[in-house]
């Protein structure tokens, strides 16, 4: 099943005296990147949450936002960080002694200094229980995210399938035009030589045949058409795979482009060149869709 890299999921649960909301969103990214934003007191659970996400999502940037609201009164305490306060006071004394300052240190000044006070939760759950509840909420949000990514992936797969049909129709036209290229060249060359022919100039049939044969060798696109047909089939198989296929499809589109470019360089025929332009434009549209796939 093809999955998109964009999606959103949400969960809201009550535990540990909090209402905890978890939002998770994912966007396109070349690799896998997971960013968690949560209350500082809960950062000890970050690694466990990242591992849970990595089990479900293999590619894309995933942002997780955890918001909490205290339910009811109490449950929190304020701790004074005495070593930090003592360090600030000693620094103030050194400044006064060095520069002869006489300004007193006021309470409001101390309270505004960083890391002087810290909020502490009077936890109603153990650390293991808190981690279990957080992971349950995360999995609920992940379920919603993955459902959205799967729905979007279905749309992408159908769009690419339709475009593959169009590419195959262009391929069939190319295969039909290929045999006529040499014959048209032969006819045009013959006409030019006949126009130049006079008593001093006659057509050398052997050299004429060699020139046509060399042109036929240079302009032959059978191998490129065969490889393109194989790439189309591989693309269909990947779109039906259960594994992440974004990178494989991206590589396959590059290979298709390479074959089409080769055909364009060999084609000495206006109709073929026009088909090459059409195919390259369609491959670019597919490439843009593949860039959204996991």
- pLDDT digits 0-9 by tens, 142-200: 999 999 999 999 999 999 999 999 999 999 998 888 877 666 666 676 676 666 666 56
Length of the chain in residues, anyone? 294
Q: Are 50 and 44 in contact (CB under 8 A)?
A: no
Cα separation, 3 vs 150, in Å, equals: 5
Mean pLDDT throughout 68-80? Answer: 70
Question: What was the pLDDT predicted at 216?
Answer: 62
What's the pTM value of the predicted model, to 2 decimals? 0.69
Domain boundaries, given as residue ranges, for the chain: 7-72+129-150, 76-120, 151-290
Whole-angstrom CA distances from 12 to 19, 70, 138 are: 7, 13, 10
* Residue 90 CA neighbour count, 13 Å, CB half: 6
Q: Are strands 32-37 and 60-70 parallel, antiparallel or unpaired?
A: parallel
pLDDT tens digits, residue range 77-90?
677 888 888 898 89
Beta carbons of 252 and 230 less than 8 angstroms apart: no
Who wins on pLDDT, 125 or 3?
A: 3
Question: Using CB atoms within 10 A of its CB, is residue 205 exposed (0-12), middle (13-18) or buried (19+)?
Answer: exposed
Q: Specify whether domain 7-72+129-150 bears CATH 3.30.230.
A: yes
34-46 pLDDT per residue, tens: 999 998 888 999 9
**Model pLDDT, residue 208:** 62
Order across the sheet with 18-27: list the strands.
7-15, 18-27, 60-70, 32-37
pLDDT at residue 122 is higher than 60: no
Q: Residue 77: what are its φ and ψ, rounded to 5°?
A: -135, 155
In the predicted model, is pLDDT for residue 74 greater than 60? no
């Amino acid at each position: 099943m093809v999955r998109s890299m964009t999606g959103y999921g949400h969960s809201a649960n009550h535990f540990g005296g909090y209402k905890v909301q978890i939002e998770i969103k994912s966007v396109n990214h070349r690799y896998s990147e997971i960013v968690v934003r949560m209350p500082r007191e809960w950062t000890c659970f970050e690694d466990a949450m990242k591992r849970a996400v990595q089990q479900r999502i293999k590619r894309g940037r995933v942002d997780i936002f955890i918001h909490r609201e205290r339910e009811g009164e109490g449950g929190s305490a304020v701790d004074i960080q005495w070593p930090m306060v003592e360090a600030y006071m000693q620094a103030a004394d050194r400044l006064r002694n060095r520069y002869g300052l006489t300004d007193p240190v006021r309470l409001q000044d101390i309270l505004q200094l960083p890391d002087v006070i810290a909020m502490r939760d009077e936890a109603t759950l153990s650390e293991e229980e808190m981690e279990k509840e957080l992971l349950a909420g995360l999995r609920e949000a992940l379920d919603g995210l993955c459902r959205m990514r799967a729905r979007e992936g279905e749309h992408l797969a159908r769009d690419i399938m339709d475009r593959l049909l169009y590419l195959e129709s262009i391929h069939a036209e190319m295969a039909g035009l290929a045999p006529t290229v040499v014959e048209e060249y032969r006819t045009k060359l013959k006409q030019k030589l006949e126009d130049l022919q006079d008593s001093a100039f006659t057509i050398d049939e052997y050299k004429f045949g060699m020139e046509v044969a060399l042109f036929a060798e240079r302009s032959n696109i059978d191998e490129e058409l065969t490889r393109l047909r194989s790439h189309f089939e591989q693309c269909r198989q990947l779109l039906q795979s259960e594994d992440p296929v974004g990178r494989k499809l991206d590589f396959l589109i590059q290979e298709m482009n390479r074959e089409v470019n080769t055909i364009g360089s060999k084609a000495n025929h206006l109709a073929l060149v026009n088909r090459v332009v059409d195919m390259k434009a369609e491959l670019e549209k597919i490439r843009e869709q593949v860039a959204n796939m996991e």
